[in-house]
């Protein structure tokens, strides 16, 4: 899988690529990442990549021409490396796009990759977007200074799903939103010491009874999800993922109970 990133700030990616589990993903080649400095595709002494908006108004707009030149250079480079690979989509990070979620990350993690464009300033000349962008992805209903953080978020989430990247193979399956958790939120976790500021670890976790621990964790997941993301409970229910025991626990919760362990 190969991702190409068009950015004016390739240096922002360096700490991310050289730390933690991301480093393992990118050094092993599980995910190939190539950074493209947009300015290298701009003309003139000043290598200008932006200009004032027609019609007036604040800020600057990214020029279509260097973006297109850079995109074509990437397409050529990819074709030279893998002549038979189908064309990967061109993705623009933008508040306009669909908000990134687990299903989206899973689908990108099983793809051949993409060409990711990080906008800056007021954004890109609309004509370039209309001509070349296949997908727009948002990180949420807020405005970032640039698309780099959104690109890093996507790359991080995709990288950790690659086989061999996490220390504990398959541990991501027990993370929030995953099918193995029926799309619910993960439960709380505890580690040493057993007592911290007079708060003890829930005794069931010290019992060694794996079935009871699994049941307790499921109930914690249900309770947390019911409190913080009731929409995910509804989705799990609609998909038939909640057992009679789950439903019994949820009824008990809404009637004011806290634990059925």
Q: Among 106, 175, 186, 237, which one carries the catalytic annotation?
A: 175
Count other C-beta atoms under 10 Å from residue 153's C-beta.
17
Site string for ligand SAM, 14-53 (x = CB under 6 A): ----------------------------------------
State the angle between helix axes of 148-159 and 20-27 in degrees (0 to 180), rounded to the nearest 10: 80
120 is a contact residue toward ligand SAM (CB under 6 A): yes
165-184 residues near ligand SAM, rule: CB under 6 A = none
Site string for ligand SAM, 85-114 (x = CB under 6 A): --------xxx-------------------
118 is a contact residue toward ligand SAM (CB under 6 A): yes
Q: What whole-number distance in Å separates Cα of residue 171 and Cα of residue 176?
A: 11
20-21-23-24 Cα dihedral, nearest 10 degrees: 140
Q: What whole-number distance in Å separates Cα of residue 81 and Cα of residue 112?
A: 13
26-27-28-31 Cα dihedral, nearest 10 degrees: 20
For residue 217, the minimal CB distance to ligand SAM (Å) is 33
66 is a contact residue toward ligand SAM (CB under 6 A): no
- The answer to whether residue 122 is catalytic is yes
142-161 residues near ligand SAM, rule: CB under 6 A = 142-147, 150
- The answer to whether residue 95 is catalytic is yes
């Amino acid at each position: 899988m190969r991702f190409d990133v068009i950015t004016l700030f390739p240096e922002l990616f360096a700490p991310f690529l050289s730390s933690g589990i991301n480093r393992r993903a990118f050094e092993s080649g599980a995910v190939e990442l190539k950074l493209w400095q947009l300015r290298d595709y701009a003309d003139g002494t000043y290598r200008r990549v932006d200009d004032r908006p027609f019609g007036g108004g604040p800020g600057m707009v990214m020029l279509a021409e260097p973006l297109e030149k850079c995109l074509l250079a990437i397409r050529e480079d990819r074709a030279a490396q893998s002549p038979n690979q189908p064309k990967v989509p061109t993705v623009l990070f933008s508040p306009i796009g669909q908000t990134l979620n687990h299903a989206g990350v899973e689908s990108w993690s099983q793809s051949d990759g993409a060409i990711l464009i990080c906008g800056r300033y007021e954004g890109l000349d609309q004509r370039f977007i209309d001509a070349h962008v296949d997908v727009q992805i948002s990180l949420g209903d807020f405005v970032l200074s640039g698309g780099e953080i959104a690109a890093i978020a996507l790359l991080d989430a995709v990288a950790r799903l690659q086989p061999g990247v996490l220390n504990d193979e398959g541990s991501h399956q027990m993370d929030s939103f995953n099918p193995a958790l029926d799309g619910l939120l993960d439960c709380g976790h505890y580690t040493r010491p057993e007592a911290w500021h007079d708060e003890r670890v829930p005794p069931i976790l010290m019992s060694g009874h794996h079935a009871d621990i699994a049941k307790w964790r499921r109930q914690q997941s249900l309770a947390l999800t019911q409190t913080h993301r009731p929409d995910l409970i509804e989705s799990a229910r609609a998909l038939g993922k909640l057992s009679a025991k789950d439903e019994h626990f949820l009824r008990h919760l809404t009637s004011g109970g806290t634990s059925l362990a």
